A and B are shown apart, each in its own frame.
Chain A
Amino acid sequence: RKEVEQDPGPFNVPEGATVAFNCTYSNSASQSFFWYRQDCRKEPKLLMSVYSSGNEDGRFTAQLNRASQYISLLIRDSKLSDSATYLCVVNVYSSASKIIFGSGTRLSIRP
């Protein structure tokens, strides 16, 4: 089983729709969580950190469920420019920091 799992998609939704995807992690020692966005043939860029209480940044909302070991990303009023791959990132603190990326969820917004 992968340490961080994501539905690869693609999610193909119309502009203006709301879309959500989850990411599950297996290591209960995971301590910090992030969503990164990666455009085709570009480097990943931080979209938002994920806090225990949940957090919102404009049209984007991130949630963490430690009991069930998953994080989620909700995008409201989706724009064409939201088309990208969304990477779930988990930071596990053991003897040293270990950063684990999911394989990503592809999102395509159609006009």
Chain B
Amino acid sequence: GAGVSQTPSNKVTEKGKYVELRCDPISGHTALYWYRQSLGQGPEFLIYFQGTGAADDSGLPNDRFFAVRPEGSVSTLKIQRTERGDSAVYLCASSPGTNNEQFFGPGTRLTVL
């Protein structure tokens, strides 16, 4: 079956611009996670959805970052006024529940010039 997909695979933007990153989880998975990974580091937790609601958004670095999952399936991570330090690979993962294996998408590589 289809795995987790993320679009775009690469995004290059200029400092100050707004970007949206999309995640399509595995069908039926209620839990959805967003992570950010910089070179040489492990994935850094950003936000976790259980269904439509953000169960834990404690990892969002500041109020420029926001994520939604309006229908409990597709999620969008939104970054306003991008900064060079936002450059990283943004990973999305989904899971059947909160204590199950997470299935990761291929990530979106964001570069802020």
Contacts and interface: CB of A to CB of B under 8 A. Distances in A.
A100 B105 contact: no
Interface residues of B, number: 22
Interface stretch (A41-49, A50-58, A61-69, A71-79): A41-49
Interface in B81-95: 91
Given A43-B104, A43-B105, A45-B104, A101 B42 contact: yes
Interface residues of A, number: 24
B99 A101 contact: no
A3 to B, nearest CB: 10
A99 B35 CA distance: 10
Interface stretch (B11-19, B43-51, B61-69): B43-51
B35 A101 contact: yes
B82 to A, nearest CB: 22
B27 interface: no
B40 interface: yes
Interface in A84-111: 87, 91, 95-104
A45 to B, nearest CB: 7
A101 B45 CA distance: 8
A22 interface: no
A43 B45 contact: no
Contact of A97 (B41, B42, B48, B105): B48
Contacts of A91: 98-99
B44 A97 contact: no
Contacts of A97: 31, 48, 55-56, 98-99
Contacts of B25: none
Contacts of B80: none
9 contacts: A42-B106, A45-B104, A46-B101, A91-B98, A96-B55, A97-B56, A97-B98, A99-B45, A99-B48
Interface of A: 4, 6, 8, 31-32, 34, 42-46, 49, 87, 91, 95-104
